[in-house]
Amino acid sequence: MAKLNFGGVEENVVTREEFPLAKAQEVLKNETVAVIGYGVQGPGQALNQRDNGINVIVGQRKNSKTWDKAIADGFVPGETLFEIEEALERGTIICYLLSDAAQIALWPTVKKHLTKGKALYFSHGFGITFNEQTGIIPPADVDVFLVAPKGSGTSLRRMFLQGRGLNSSYAIFQDATGKARERVVALGIAVGSGYLFETDFKREVYSDLTGERGTLMGAIQGIFAAQYQVLRDKGHTPSEAFNETVEELTQSLMPLVAENGMDWMYANCSTTAQRGALDWWKKFRDATSPVFKELYESVATGKESQRSIDSNSQEDYREKLDAELKELRESEMWQAGKTVRSLRPENQK
Ligand SMILES: NC(=O)C1=CN([C@@H]2O[C@H](COP(=O)(O)OP(=O)(O)OC[C@H]3O[C@@H](n4cnc5c(N)ncnc54)[C@H](O)[C@@H]3O)[C@@H](O)[C@H]2O)C=CC1
Ligand SMILES: CC(=O)[C@](C)(O)C(=O)O
Ligand SMILES: [Mg+2]
Ligand SMILES: [Mg+2]
């Protein structure tokens, strides 16, 4: 394991040099990896493992859209695609990739098939950390660990196909066989991680729930909406407001941040912009910091996990979600965005 310096703090990281794919294949050569669920992470992780030469099967409900998707992706019923129970029976490593709320309902079935020496794999610390809410308490004689790709399963697959890799965190909750570490790291490499950083279940889920509600998804939409509205209220057109709020960020400036950091992006903007950004960023930090603290508390007290379970367990969950997404999509800002995107040269025939 490499110890690397992250801004002055040393952390343990598994790199591909230290743990190449060949080693992962060797560790997993006698295992059957059963990917249960074929939603977003399921396909990304199952396909990457298959392409990496791992013995992977998919467990999914028959007569579902995702069953058909698994077939379209090349999984063969009776060979590499099974009903959930049969996949649970065959698998020696169970990758539990149903939505976090759905994992609760299927848990008694999964538990039944967790015989001695098998491994239970998650991509989130949710089910175990909030076990008072989920009831997920694994038997003592199985390994329990997680590999959490830090990004969408869609990106995990796309980046793999481009020869890139998404970073993932990994954690061991229970090592019953003495082989949990080599198993989890091998899986992390096999699913297409670029590198793996160490964490535990609680830290994974607390940071993940904070990040997705915060800067990654919730806060970013909030700050976009606030700036867009001010510009519109002051008489700017939708295209101008959208371009100065979103399009320039995603198309021009964020790629520079991704490449070489914030100072590099600033350095490639005008002195006028630099002065203003350097003057204003701390004001935004201070204004939002109380909201982030409130958010973290809401995660740590289990309020966020309970809310997610409650809403995701409703019969009409899909319809309600679609309605909320539609509201976003049909807002003036994102409608303006649709037109703006259509004007990108690469999107014109
Ligand atoms: N979506 C993502 O890219 C990421 C997800 N994760 C984690 O990975 C895990 C899987 O998440 P997603 O792929 O988003 O799940 P998802 O919401 O796409 O659902 C996965 C599958 O669960 C099936 N399913 C739903 N209810 C079911 C039930 N009652 N019985 C049987 N099957 C049922 C669906 O048909 C679908 O195939 C979660 O723990 C999540 O937090 C982690 C990182 C990113
Ligand atoms: C993509 C990811 O890592 C998230 C945002 O945490 C999630 O989908 O749960
Ligand atoms: Mg995440
Ligand atoms: Mg998440």
Give the start-to-end residue ranges of the domains of the chain: 2-199, 211-347
**If you measure from the C-alpha of residue 159 to the centroid of ligand 1, how many angstroms do you get, rounded to a whole number?**
20
236 as an active site residue: the answer is: no
Q: How far apart are CA 152 and CA 124, in angstroms?
A: 13
- Show the CA angle centred on residue 149, arms to residues 248 and 59, nearest 5°: 125
**Residue in 99, 103, 168 to alter for ligand 1 test, most ligand atoms within 8 A of Cβ:** 99
Distances (CA, A) of 262 to 66, 145, 252, 265: 40, 34, 13, 5
Q: Please tell me the predicted confidence (pLDDT) of residue 349.
A: 74
Which amino acid would we find at residue 237?
A: T
Beta bridge partners of 34: 57, 94
Q: Characterise 28 by phi-psi region: left (phi > 0), alpha (psi -120 to 50), beta (else).
A: alpha
3-state secondary structure of 170: strand
As to burial, measured by CB atoms within 10 angstroms (0-12 exposed, 13-18 middle, 19+ buried), residue 27 is buried
- Show the CA angle centred on residue 201, arms to residues 313 and 210, nearest 5°: 65
By alpha-carbon position, which residue is closest to atom 5 of ligand 2?
212
By alpha-carbon position, which residue is closest to atom 2 of ligand 2?
151
Q: How far apart are CA 67 and CA 225, in angstroms?
A: 38
- Virtual torsion, Cα 99, 100, 106, 110, nearest 10 deg: 100
**If you measure from the C-alpha of residue 123 to the centroid of ligand 2, how many angstroms do you get, rounded to a whole number?**
10
**If you measure from the C-alpha of residue 216 to the centroid of ligand 4, how many angstroms do you get, rounded to a whole number?**
10
Residue 12: phi and psi, rounded to 5, are: -85, 130
Residue 215 near ligand 2, beta carbon < 6 Å: no
CA 284 to chain centre: 27
By alpha-carbon position, which residue is closest to atom 5 of ligand 1?
41
Catalytic one of 124, 150, 157, 183 = 124
Q: Please tell me the predicted confidence (pLDDT) of residue 1.
A: 78
Residue 213 near ligand 1, beta carbon < 6 Å: no
Dihedral over Cα of 200, 205, 210, 211: its sign: positive
Q: Which of 251, 215, 221 is nearest to 325 (CA)?
A: 221
3-state secondary structure of 144: strand
For the structural domain made of 211-347, what CATH number should be given? 1.10.1040.10
Atom of ligand 2 nearest to the CA of 149: 3
Binding site members for Mg(2+): 208, 212, 244, 248
Per-residue pLDDT of the chain (349 residues), as tens digits, is 789 999 999 999 999 999 999 999 999 999 999 999 999 999 999 999 999 999 999 999 999 999 999 999 999 999 999 999 999 999 999 999 999 999 999 999 999 999 999 999 999 999 999 999 999 999 999 999 999 999 999 999 999 999 999 999 999 999 999 999 999 999 999 999 999 999 999 999 999 999 999 999 999 999 999 999 999 999 999 999 999 999 999 999 999 999 999 999 999 999 999 999 999 999 999 999 999 999 999 999 999 999 999 999 999 999 999 999 999 999 999 999 999 999 999 998 7
Binding site members: 208, 212, 244, 248, 270
What ipTM did this prediction achieve?
Answer: 0.96
Q: Say if residues 59 and 82 touch (Cβ distance below 8 Å).
A: yes
Q: Please tell me the predicted confidence (pLDDT) of residue 220.
A: 98
Atom of ligand 2 nearest to the CA of 216: 5
3-state secondary structure of 59: strand
By alpha-carbon position, which residue is closest to atom 6 of ligand 1?
123
Atom of ligand 1 nearest to the CA of 156: 3
Query: Looking at domain 2-199, which CATH architecture does it have?
Result: 3-Layer(aba) Sandwich (3.40)
Q: How far apart are CA 91 and CA 70, in angstroms?
A: 17
3-state secondary structure of 69: helix
**If you measure from the C-alpha of residue 48 to the centroid of ligand 1, how many angstroms do you get, rounded to a whole number?**
17
**If you measure from the C-alpha of residue 48 to the centroid of ligand 4, how many angstroms do you get, rounded to a whole number?**
20
Residue 109 near ligand 1, beta carbon < 6 Å: no
Dihedral over Cα of 76, 127, 138, 54: its sign: positive
3-state secondary structure of 197: strand
CA 147 to chain centre: 10
